[in-house]
Structure 1
Amino acid sequence: MDEIIEHSKFGARKEDKQVVVITGSSGLIGSSLIQRLSKNYRVVGLDRVGPPYPPLQAECVNFDITDEKAINAAMERIRYGYGNKIASVIHLAAYYDFGEKDNPKYHEINVKGTKKFLQQLQDFDVEQFLFSSSNLIYKPTEPGVKINEDCPVEANWGYPESKVLTEDLIKKNNDDINAVFLRIAGIYTDDGHSIPITQQIKRIYEKELLSHFYSGDVDHGDVFVHLEDVVDAIEKAVDNRKEIPNETALNIGEPTSPTYQEIQDAVGNLLHGKDWETYEVPKSLAKAGAWARDLVSDPFIKPWMIDRAGTHYELDIWRAKDCLGWEPKHRVMDTLPKMIEDLKADPEAWYKKNNLD
């Protein structure tokens, strides 16, 4: 006779684990975060209808952050299945597009969507609202001058501008929920997954003529951070949520920023056994060339990007060390050999996983 299995009458509420809600749960950060946090928390992933889906360690609840009714339905599902108390809401959902300088979706999704979502959360007992912001909100600096969390902002295109506006609206529209702003650098993984880096590698791998020219200062560079270090930082922020003061901003990035030329030479040597000769060109000439290419194809480098070429970011991460006990374990220059190794082993697969087809 078959054994009769008795199902729990209490569902997830019977567990002692506290609840964490993650928006954008099927994305690069969200998927990795679910796998990490599910060991100690009950995780609910909020995401758009349809694939990709978050990992199975989290319940997937579909919602549309631009639709108040859809947000309300999702939160009612969470209330029914998990109760009214939420340890942390990790807000990763956002619109981002390298193809356009400005897009109405930046405001519709990133700003207005967050406001609608935050309004729904006021009916819950939420200990922490963690917002994934960006280092791109800051005014660029010069080599050797680090940016701390109190430095001026200078958002001059749609994406960072939406992050600045969203940080402000969270401060103005949030009642009784401790907010944390993680200003995250450009994320990469062992496989790549950084659009600027993988595009730079692609140009050198294919020996494109364009790979030898740059419209900015080659001795300037961006700040990066490995995905695993980002997940570490978020986990520490959730674990230490009761000790972090409300509206704390934290820089999450590596303490050193490689220059454009350093990455060029590293990739050139790894792929072709030599430094990669790179020449600075006037912005006016570069912009004209980008405009002409944009007429006949869909290149990665758009005319509006020329003005941003050569901007420099270096982050002071002291506050993250002090508040979270966090500092990155990876360095992008140490990871480049792994990226190139994977590219050489299977170029087609590497191109596909980095959306370079």
Structure 2
Amino acid sequence: MDEIIEHSEFGARKENKETILITGSSGLIGFSLIERLSKKYRVVGLDRLGPPYPPLQAECVNFDITDEKAIDAAMERIRYGYGSKIASVIHLAAYYDFGTKDSPKYQEINVKGTEKFLRQLQDFEVGQFIFSSSNLIYKPTEPGTKLNEDCPVEANWGYPESKIQTEDLIKEHSTNFPSVFLRIAGVYTDYGHSIPILQQIKRIYEKQLLGHFYSGDVNHGDVFVHLEDVVNAIEDSVERRQEIPDQMAFNIGEPTSPTYQELQDTIGNLIHGKDWETYEIPKPLAKAGAWTRDLVGDPFIKPWMIDRSGAHYELDVSRAKEYLDWEPKHRVMDTLPKMITGLKENPDQWYAKNNLEK
């Protein structure tokens, strides 16, 4: 006689937990966010078919954000399994490529894909829509002058331009639910993962001649933020969704920005025990060199990057402190020793984990 298996009457839909929907759920931020939020919420991940996959704490629903029929099918699966009420939608899915200044995918995925996704959400009871934007949408500033959320925006390449357009799109289309814009700085971890920092470390570790030259002002710098602090900011946004005014933007980054020279010297000392000599070169010369190298290979530094080298960003994060009770607990300059330790202890593993070629 076959054994009778009794199934629980309480499936995921009947759990006494609110539902969170995360797009781009298998990415760096999405993966960590699921591990955090699943302790309190039912989390559903939306992402492309195939690896990598989100952690097991979330159901993975495959969808193609460029295909409205695929989005509709994914949302019907969510409605069937979890109902039509979603506490928060966290929209992380986006296209990003350092290798190209402009790509049709910026419009196809970031802008038009979000528009299609928003249309499908109109049939759901959404408590909040969180959009992961970027600090790169701002017009660069000068050292000592911080950028607040009301500062002018200015995009000089495809990625930040798509973020500006998508913010405007959400303001226009998310009329049925409140929206939040998190303008996130360059994300790093204890092991690396920030592409600009990784490339800087790589050039110095390998003692590349190119690593001694920079086409921008070495006393300017970018703003960064640790992955753990980003996850904290998103969690805080979800927890305080009833209190945050609609369409409010928050800067999510560290309050101080290390200069390019400070990064160079710190990395040089950590790896080679001395400051790393760095020389500024004229942009036309740097662009000619980048163009030549691009003809014979696939270098990280592309000619279009030369124009924006030396752009300076400093963020005022006081609004996030006021409304989210959030402030970063990490500093990139304090984390660099951990990154370099990982590199020194096992270079092959460090390169592989950070998707770098030796």
**How far apart, CA to CA, are the structure 1 residues paired with 2:190 and 2:269?**
18
Residue type at the aligned position of 2:26:
S
Q: Give 1:187-336 correspondences, 5 Å limit.
A: 187-336=187-336
SS at match of 1:258: coil
Q: Residue in 1 aligned with 2:46?
A: 46
Match of 1:177 in 2: 177
1:136 aligns with 2:131: no
**Counterpart residue type for residue 197 of structure 1:** I
1:8 Cα deviation (Å)? 2.0
CA distance in 1, matches of 2:38, 2:256: 32
Cα distance in 1, alignment partners of residues 34 and 347 from structure 2: 29
Q: 2: CA distance between counterparts of 1:166 and 1:282?
A: 35
TM-score by length of 2: 0.99
Runs of at least 4 residues off by over 6 Å: none
Alpha-carbon distance in 2 for matches of 1:175, 1:153? 23
Secondary structure of 1:95's counterpart equals coil
Give the deviation of 1:129 after TM superposition: 0.3
**Aligned-residue offset at 1:9:** 3.5
CA deviation after TM superposition for structure 1 residue 174, in Å:
1.4
Partner of 1:337 in structure 2?
Answer: 337
Aligned to 1:57: 57
CA distance in 2, matches of 1:3, 1:273: 69
**Aligned equivalent of 1:165:** 165
Secondary structure at 1:146's aligned position in 2?
coil
With 173-182 and 327-336 compared, the bigger mean Cα shift is at 173-182
- Name the CA distance, whole Å, in 1 between partners of 2:342 and 2:204: 15
Unaligned runs of 5+ in 1: none
Q: Give per-residue Cα distances to partners, 1:241-275, cap 9 Å, x unaligned.
A: 01001000000000000000000000000000000
Q: Distance in 2 between matches of 1:335 and 1:140?
A: 25
Residue 318 of structure 1, CA deviation: 0.3
CA separation in 2, counterparts of 1:6 and 1:44?
26
CA offsets 1:175-233 (integer angstroms, 9 cap, x no match): 22110000000000000000000000000000000110000000000000000000000
Cα deviations across residues 293-313 of structure 1 (Å, max 9, x unaligned)? 000010000000000110000
Once the two structures are superposed, residues 318-339 of structure 1 have per-residue CA deviations (whole angstroms, 9 ceiling, x without a partner) of: 0000010000000000000000
- What is the DSSP-based 3-state SS (H/G/I as helix, E as strand, rest coil) of the residue aligned with 1:77? helix
2:103 matches 1:103: yes
Q: Distance in 2 between matches of 1:353 and 1:306?
A: 28
Give distance in 2, aligned partners of 1:3 and 1:346: 52
**Offset from partner CA, 1:145-202 (integer Å, 9 cap, x none):** 0000000000110000000000001011112211000000000000000000000000
Residues of 2 paired with 1:29 and 1:2: CA distance? 46
TM-score (norm 1): 0.99
Residue in 2 that maps onto 1:17: 17
Aligned to 2:121: 121
Q: How far does residue 282 in structure 1 lie from its aligned partner after superposition?
A: 0.1
Q: CA RMSD in A?
A: 1.0
Tell me whether 1:346 sits opposite 2:337 in the alignment.
no
1:53-109 deviation per Cα after TM superposition (whole angstroms, max 9, x unaligned): 000000000000000000000000000000010000000000000000000000000
Match of 2:330, SS?
A: coil
Question: Matches of 1:140 and 1:335 in 2, distance apart?
Answer: 25
Q: Distance in 2 between matches of 1:255 and 1:5?
A: 57
Aligned to 1:27: 27
Counting matched residue pairs gives 357
Which amino acid in structure 2 is aligned with residue 322 of structure 1?
E
- Partner SS for 2:46: strand
Q: Per the alignment, in what secondary structure is the counterpart of residue 249 of structure 2? A: strand
**1:271-294 deviations in Å (ceiling 9; x for gaps):** 000000100000000000000000
The one-letter amino acid of 2:295's match is L
> Residue type of the partner of 1:249?
A
Q: Distance in 1 between matches of 2:104 and 2:9?
A: 46
Q: How many Å separate the matches in 2 of 1:4 and 1:150? A: 63
SS at match of 1:193: coil
User: 2:54 & 2:29 partners in 1: Cα distance?
Assistant: 11
Q: Distance in 1 between matches of 2:84 and 2:290?
A: 52
